[in-house]
Structure 1
Amino acid sequence: MSLTRRGVVLFATAALVLAGCSSQGGDGAADKAASEKVTVEWWNIGTTEPLKSLLAEQAKAYEAAHPNVTIKNVPIENEAFKAKIATATQSGKAPDVYATWGGGVLQQQIDAGLVKDLSADTASWIGNFTTASLQAYQFDGKTYAIPNDIGMVGFWYNKALFAKAGITEPPATWSQYLDDVKKLKAAGITPIALAGKEKWPGHYYWAYLAMRIAGLDALKQAGADHDFTKPEFVSAGEHLKQLVDLQPFQKGFLGAGYSTPDGQAATVSNGKAAMELMGQWAPSVENDTGKGLGENLGFFPFPAVEGGKGSAADAFGGGGGYAVGANAPAEALDFLKFLHDPAQHRKVVESGALLPVLKGEEDAVKDANLAVVAKTLASATGFQLYLDQAYPPAVGQEVNDSVAALIAGSKSPEEVAQAITETAKSE
């Protein structure tokens, strides 16, 4: 999903700070370096407002503070960006600064020697970022990209329908969740909307259950060992089958889209299902495709699984960051630092275009629903990137396909684990 979603004093302050940083060293070499013309090519996905204008303003602000630097701002729509960056990296090149979602694709770029290790250069300011926001961009203890946005998947629910079913508070455990599904059905309410046709929404359930049962470290190890057949991963499928066996989804869910007029988001938005498991963009899509729930819309994190090794405070989702090409000039990293100066990044968060990645930014989120997500992420003990991004593309697709088959009743939990393992081993 696309993540499209203070003035003169701040600009002047940032400019003075950056100008001071750039003029360190009193010898002639520093003066010479400051006068040399440098172009930094910046590929980003800020193609819609307000992000598009805000990013353009930031580029101009940096140029004003550094007259010798030109920021070549290249906004590219999400899907077009994926194709363009793939073509560039396959030819052995990478832009100076470019958008990344981390995970398996970034790992491939690192292995190809196309990405700069930022660990040493960011050591003095990397501590400003939340734990959750960094994890998709760190490999073997090293940092290869800087987070710029983050979001998480959780349950968006209709408070009125929950109350009608006699549910007084969101479930904290998987058993309570299943009980609530039963209460909703007993009250004549469809518990869950699901876009079965698109597959990726279904993988959220299996992924979260694997996190809660096996734990984050086990998911990471399975990716490295290419082995998802361990009992905990089979158990994730068994727990999901417990839910599927309750027949909790709307009629025709296997053929339903996500953002279509009769799809998952609209079904919740129009009060025809009590909840959906979806990312932070859910309220926006619900409002676009249906009537909207207004004050009846609530959010709760995925519940804990009794006896599981994973923490209920671990979050699952994704975001966006920026990597630096291996051959980029030093000014590329300096520009990246500027983008993440607290005053600069806060302006974008306040606009609603991004969610906080810096500690203490949560109060800048104005939307009530997104504020709940931001606070949950700020206290997250760990973070797991979407499995269809965390692993190599073929493995991620197999997760989506196999989990969809389990939900449709054509694969067992064991067969899901085996299919993912076979694909991982063949990569």
Structure 2
Amino acid sequence: MDRRAFFTLAAASSLVLAACSDPGAAPAGGDATPAGWPSASTKLDGVTLTVWAAQNSNTVPKVVVEAFQKATGAKVDVVTITDPYEQSVQTKIATGDKPDLAFWQPTASMLSSINAKTNLQPLTGAPWVAATEKSLQDLTGIYDDVRYAALISTPAVIGVYYNKQVLQDAGITATPADWTELVAAAQKLKAAGKVPFFEMGGNDGSPWATQWWVQAQLAEQAQAGLWKRVNAAQEKFTDPAVVTTIQNYKDLIDQGMFNADIKTATFEDQGKALLDGSAAMVMQVNSFFAQLQSLAQTDELNQKIGFFPISTEGTTGTFIPDQSNALVAFRSGDDKREAATRQLLAYWLGDGYQAFVEDQKTVSLQPDVATPAGVPEALKAVAEALKTSVGSMQVEAVANPDLYLRLGEMIQGALTPEKVAEQVQAQFAQLAAAQGIKGF
């Protein structure tokens, strides 16, 4: 079976299984209240915890884990799960394989996809919530009115990362103010012999960034209730609002606005290309900038890389908390390990948070914890864009179909925009029906 088809089937199957076991029910004898929040200094000698992470988040816990182990005597193993991360995790969970903690996208649809009420510890009464910036406290991580995810960094915003020098060399002195201006900038760059955009369309089954091109164009539609209508079966992915955005994306590809190796290029290629100036712009989210930070120091990044949000009619960003932004704690049935897991979360967002943001060079979520002086300007721009951003499909829709996989197939020449929409709608309807959503 084709690898992409396998992961799609696995994701859908796991959700169907979850629905059959009633995802709205807590485990027998359980409720939505954790046993308590241990002191961060509680000794944990002999306790081993496992944290699942993706390729782009497996180094994120390093400083926190090392300090927590030293302070408590616990052992914490960070295990890298193969990409595509979300599908791989869902497949493992469906077979009963679970960690103590995992990086996870803290949206309702993705919490539902891993059967949160059965598999996850509720984080009710989490001690760090009150310390978090008020506008972010309940932005994400909540499913059916219960908190299941801990936000550790600024939620991702879909937007354009750009090489300042490349734009300047092409005579572009101001960032685009809407989609029309973005396309005009791309045309100007192409005329100047530059590669306007770089896409990671590789046929390895994980062209996950392709969906940002569609979702960015849907910002105003989302503000006007698109996802509520989709959730209620009043509008579909096959309707003009969505199909037009897919066609616009394909038109840019057909016009040669992307890298010549779009069919094979990877996430790693994308960062290198923007940094060395072989491409002018990349449509991406925060985890992409983490890759840039692994390739260059802050001074170089400030000199070379900028960020701006974009939408069809303006510069409305689309926020999509990704798996590198949050953690979930699994139920193991072992009270001591579950308590230790909550203790690690409390330490991470408590005593260990200042060291964490300094190590990650990221914007602090807590007003009383200073954002490090070395945080790159582009990340500050992302955090600023969050204030006026709208929720993505993953945030607002009741299910998260594999839009990116279908777009990847379109890049390979296997699907038309209409076929992409048809297949995504069919999967969305299947996933919504598995949850018992009315109208499906």
Q: 1:314 to 1:257 in 2, by over 3 A?
A: closer
- Secondary structure of the residue aligned to 1:372 is helix
**Inter-partner Cα distance in structure 2 for 1:203 and 1:172:** 21
* Aligned with 1:376 (options 355, 375, 384): 384
- Give the residue type in structure 2 aligned to 1:79: T
* Aligned with 2:221 (options 213, 223, 228): 213
Does the 8 Å contact 2:51/2:79 carry over to 1? yes
Q: 1:252 to 1:74 in 2, by over 3 A?
A: closer
1:76 correspondence with 2:50: no
Cα shift at 1:88? 6.6
Q: Deviations over 1:205-254 (max 9, x none)?
A: 11222334334953366367594234322232243245335421122322
> What residue is the counterpart of 1:274 in the other structure?
280
- Secondary structure of the residue aligned to 1:149 is coil
Does the 8 Å contact 2:362/2:372 carry over to 1? no
Q: Deviations over 1:116-172 (max 9, x none)?
A: 3334x2388356156458645222333111112344443221222212222111112
> What residue is the counterpart of 2:371 in the other structure?
363
Does the 8 Å contact 1:148/1:321 carry over to 2? yes
Q: 1:93 to 1:316 in 2, by over 3 A?
A: closer
Bigger drift between 213-222 and 269-278 goes to 213-222
Q: 1:301 to 1:213 in 2, by over 3 A?
A: farther
Once the two structures are superposed, the pairs formed by residues 37-56 of structure 1 within 5 Å of their partners are 41=49, 43=51, 45=53, 51-56=61-66
Q: 1:40 to 1:374 in 2, by over 3 A?
A: farther
**Inter-partner Cα distance in structure 1 for 2:82 and 2:224:** 29
- Secondary structure of the residue aligned to 2:258 is coil
* Aligned with 1:416 (options 412, 415, 420): 420
Does the 8 Å contact 1:359/1:378 carry over to 2? no
**Inter-partner Cα distance in structure 2 for 1:244 and 1:36:** 54
**Inter-partner Cα distance in structure 2 for 1:368 and 1:303:** 20
**Inter-partner Cα distance in structure 2 for 1:235 and 1:338:** 46
**Inter-partner Cα distance in structure 2 for 1:422 and 1:377:** 33
Q: 1:407 to 1:186 in 2, by over 3 A?
A: same
Once the two structures are superposed, the pairs formed by residues 302-317 of structure 1 within 5 Å of their partners are 302-306=309-313, 312-317=316-321
Q: Structure 2: which 5+ runs fail to align?
A: 1-36, 432-440
> What residue is the counterpart of 2:210 in the other structure?
202
TM-score, length-scaled by structure 2: 0.69
Does the 8 Å contact 2:69/2:76 carry over to 1? yes
> What residue is the counterpart of 2:166 in the other structure?
161
- Give the residue type in structure 1 aligned to 2:259: Q
- Give the residue type in structure 2 aligned to 1:173: D
Which has the higher Rg, Structure 1 or Structure 2?
A: 1
**Inter-partner Cα distance in structure 2 for 1:35 and 1:197:** 46
Percent of pairs with identical residues: 17
- Secondary structure of the residue aligned to 2:238 is coil
- Secondary structure of the residue aligned to 2:325 is strand
Q: Deviations over 1:75-122 (max 9, x none)?
A: 212439979965774455755544433344532333561223334x23
1:255 correspondence with 2:260: no
Q: Deviations over 1:252-297 (max 9, x none)?
A: 32233332xxx43333333222111233354564587799975552
- Secondary structure of the residue aligned to 1:228 is coil
Q: 1:363 to 1:317 in 2, by over 3 A?
A: same
- Secondary structure of the residue aligned to 1:170 is coil
> What residue is the counterpart of 1:240 in the other structure?
249
Q: Deviations over 1:368-396 (max 9, x none)?
A: 24543553365354443769x9945xx22
> What residue is the counterpart of 1:187 in the other structure?
192
**Inter-partner Cα distance in structure 2 for 1:363 and 1:53:** 17
1:400 correspondence with 2:404: yes
Cα shift at 1:345? 0.9
- Give the residue type in structure 1 aligned to 2:347: F
- Secondary structure of the residue aligned to 2:374 is coil
* Aligned with 2:356 (options 342, 348, 353): 348
Does the 8 Å contact 1:192/1:249 carry over to 2? yes
> What residue is the counterpart of 1:176 in the other structure?
181
> What residue is the counterpart of 1:14 in the other structure?
none
**Inter-partner Cα distance in structure 2 for 1:223 and 1:245:** 32
Does the 8 Å contact 2:216/2:318 carry over to 1? no
Q: Give the number of aligned pairs.
A: 377
- Secondary structure of the residue aligned to 1:54 is helix
Does the 8 Å contact 1:279/1:317 carry over to 2? no
* Aligned with 1:115 (options 120, 138, 155): 120
- Secondary structure of the residue aligned to 2:189 is helix
Q: 1:39 to 1:296 in 2, by over 3 A?
A: closer
Cα shift at 1:331? 5.7
Cα shift at 1:348? 0.6
Cα shift at 1:204? 1.6
TM-score, length-scaled by structure 1: 0.71
